Each structure stands twice: as structure tokens, then as C-alpha cells.
Structure 1
Amino acid sequence: MCGMTARELVSSLPEPAALLARCRAIALLDTILDPYGPMHTFVPGWRDGVDLACMDNGSGDQYAIVFDPAGVFLYGFDHESDATPWREQDRAHWPGLLDGLPTPLAHYPEAPEFRFEGFFDATVCAWRESGDTGWRCGPVEFADDESDGADWLFDLVVDGSPEAYVSHTEEYLERSVDRDAVAAVMAGAPLTRGTVASLAPSAGYEAVAEQARRLGYSVMD
């Protein structure tokens, strides 16, 4: 049996403010640990008043989370999932994928940054309009042996624990990662020289601190 799909994801995602903080922290950690090819990125002010968090694993899988004053729009693409648009000769979304997407957020699937060869490649979509009390997704249905990739694409931002990040990153980078330093960043503590040194002893603190400031993360002066 497959794991979580979009239907379960919407009941597992944190509140928008907590999600944004996790995305920022994960992007900062990735930048410190893997400065030349971070898997997770965060762009404050991607558009006027809009922040953007992204993941790209370099193997064809990705996600984007848009933090707009009108709400949050989230999508992911698992190229090997049953819901891939490439399952059809003429690409087609999984039935119901975007049904119910509120008008203030409905332009994001049309954003050129999220399209490949003119098509919005997505296997998972969810959203939360400002003022709403919960996350929503379209009326997608999956059999027990079908998946849309939600179970692993968003595991770090759903879990939010230092242990989840350390486990993921140690496997990906094939080296040990300091758990206490990760916990400090995930908790939103101001970045310090000690935290940076514990994560990447050879990194220059001032350069990392400047990157953190650009992400909107607080830095100890």
C-alpha cells in the first residue's frame, strides 16, 4: 500500500506561517551544507509581496510553495508517480488535480517558472486561501497501489523535526550533520558563528551570514 497522497497531505501540513519558517530554515541549512547545489531554496520577494520555496533533487522531481498575501499555493512533481502527466501521450493532469483552486491563486499554474514545454507538470497540488481554516486539494482519488509523490516530496516540511532533516541530509550528502546546530536553525534561533562552524567548519561566517540575511533569516551581530 502506498503512503500519503494529497488527500492526506492537506491534513498534515502546518499553519502557513510555520510552513514558511520551515522552508526558510531548510533552505538556509542546505545553503550552508551544500553551497554549490542546495536542494532546497527560498526566495523572499520572488514577486511583489510573494515569497517562494522550492525543492529540486536534480533527478526530475521538484516542488514549489508560493506564499502570497492571497494564500499559499503548493505543488509537487514526482516523475515516477502514477499521477505524472507523462502517463498520457498528450500530457494530462490527474483527474481533479486543480479542481476547486480559488481564483486568487488560480494564475500560479500558468506561471512560466512552473511550466515545462508549455505545460504545468504537477502530480500533487494543495492550497490555502487567506482566511481559510485549513488546507485544500482537488477531489483526487487513488487506488491503494497508486501514488502522487506527496508521501516523500513534502516529508521534511510536514515533519519539521531536526531528526528528519539530519536523516535526509546525511543520506543525501553521505556525511554526518550536527543535530544540535540543525535544531537551532529549525527553531529560528539567530544564526551564530558557532552554529555555522558546527555545520560547515570551512565556511566563511560573514558570507553565510549575508546569505542568511538575504533569506530573511535573523543573524547574531
Structure 2
Amino acid sequence: MTVHDVARHLPEIAVLREHCRSIAVLEAALSPEWESRRHSFDDHWSETESMASMRSGSGDEYSIVFSAAGAYVRGFEHESPMSPYAEDGPWPGVLDEVPEVFRPYVEEPAFSDEDGMPVVTACTWRETTDDRWKSGTIDFPDAATEDPDGAGYLFQLLVDRTPEAFQRWAEGYYEVLVDLEAVRHVFSSRPLTEEVVRALNSEIVLADLSEDFAETGYPTS
């Protein structure tokens, strides 16, 4: 799977935004310690933008900026043959066709290294007037890999957005049983309740997530 395949499977911007926020809230309940989480959502990244992000802890990451212009998705898989560190710059085509309205994100310091080089192996975007997600014209490497830019790995929970997919991932990552009905509740963007929080993590209560609610903008009862 490449970013082209991912782009074909991503939903409309508003749906993706809610899904990313739901994943972040679920992880907040499963892991009260922020450092242990993979996914986060900042509803106030700037005065006009929200950002969803993922950090694997081993160098892999993605960032999705949601703005009035649309959404910009950047991913980096550190072992990808398309790493900018392998070619001394982003792989040809990955960023070349990013529209002007999203160019500030290409140069965003938070998405670059200390030398200002964009840290990216996969990129896709969608303006509010677009009818689909777009990505650059890329000649992918011939290496014997099904995931040359890391997009399949990075965006797996954005391509398969079922509660069951998240449950499988979370049980493997956190090594705990994850209540499927609670996941369905959050994926429906219904307000969190004490009952749902207890089903996800019996060691916390709803009030323990107050800072996460403020950051993500997720509704509470």
C-alpha cells in the first residue's frame, strides 16, 4: 500500500477529523500517562487550525492539519527507502504538487528537522472544494516492499476505521482487553459517561480526563 492507496480510502475531511479525535480520546482513557500514547488531537493547535498526530516512539509519525482550507496529511516512516535522509531531501513527487494553500505546512518547523528539511515519506491533502484526496505523482522505488513510503503502516487506523480494528490494535499495543461497545460509543462521537470510561479503564473516572476533553474538544455529558 502506498499513499495513493491510502488517499483512495480516506473519508471526507469532517469524518476523518472526528475519527482522529475519537482515537485520541480512547487512548486518553486507556493510557492516562500522555507519554505512553500514540495518538493525540489538539483542537487548538492554532487559533484557526486543529491537528491530529501519531508518534510511534521509534521515529515513525504523522500529522494531520485541519483548517478552513481543508486538510493536509504528512507521514514519516523512518525505515522507508523514501526517507529524506536516504536521498538528502524529500523523495521526488512527494511534496512537489502540494497546493499553495498548504505550502506553509511543507515548511512548518514542527514537521521538519533542525536543518529545516521536511521530515516526510508520504503526503496527501484535500481542499474543501475537492471531491477526493490528492497526492503527488511519484515514481516509487523498486525495492521489494509492499509499503515503500510507510503509508500502509502509518495510516492503518485511518484506512480501516472500524471499532474492531481499533480494538485489535489497542489490545496488541496496551496488552489489555478493550471493551468493543465502549469503542463504538466513542467512534459515534457520543458524549463520554462514567460508565463508558469505567468500561475502558476501571482505574480512572470521567473527571480525570478533563484536560483531554479541553484539548480535543470531545463532547461530555
Does the pair score TM above 0.5? yes
Q: CA deviation at 1:154?
A: 0.5
Tell me which residue corresponds to 1:137. Answer: 135
Residues 130-176 of structure 1, C-alpha deviation per residue, up to 9 Å, x if partnerless?
Answer: 21111100101223724101111011012111111111111111111
Residues 87-144 of structure 1, C-alpha deviation per residue, up to 9 Å, x if partnerless?
Answer: 13xx221110112111111110111111112211100000011211111001012237
Please say if 1:50 is aligned against 2:49: yes
2:4 partner letter: R
Q: CA deviation at 1:209?
A: 4.3
Please say if 1:30 is aligned against 2:27: yes
Tell me which residue corresponds to 2:175. Answer: 174
1:105-124 matched pairs, under 5 angstroms: 105-117=102-114, 118-124=116-122
Q: How many residues align?
A: 215
Q: CA deviation at 1:179?
A: 0.9
Cα root mean square deviation, aligned: 1.3
1:189-208 matched pairs, under 5 angstroms: 189-208=190-209
CA distance in 1, matches of 2:21, 2:5: 24
1:121 partner letter: V
CA distance in 2, matches of 1:64, 1:206: 28
Tell me which residue corresponds to 1:92. Answer: 89
Tell me which residue corresponds to 1:150. Answer: 151
Q: TM-score, normalised by structure 1?
A: 0.93
Consecutive unaligned residues of structure 2, counting only runs of 5 or more, are none
Residues 64-100 of structure 1, C-alpha deviation per residue, up to 9 Å, x if partnerless?
Answer: 0000111110010000112111213xx2211101121
Asked if 2 retains the 8 angstrom alpha-carbon contact of 1:191 and 1:209, the reply is: no
1:113 partner letter: A
Consecutive unaligned residues of structure 1, counting only runs of 5 or more, are none
Deviates more, 1:162-171 or 1:138-147: 138-147
CA distance in 1, matches of 2:72, 2:97: 12
Tell me which residue corresponds to 2:3. Answer: 6
Asked if 1 retains the 8 angstrom alpha-carbon contact of 2:44 and 2:215, the reply is: no
Q: SS of the counterpart of 1:10?
A: helix
Asked if 2 retains the 8 angstrom alpha-carbon contact of 1:7 and 1:140, the reply is: no
Q: SS of the counterpart of 1:212?
A: helix
Q: TM-score, normalised by structure 2?
A: 0.93
CA distance in 1, matches of 2:31, 2:18: 20
Q: CA deviation at 1:212?
A: 2.1
Q: Percent identity at matched positions?
A: 39
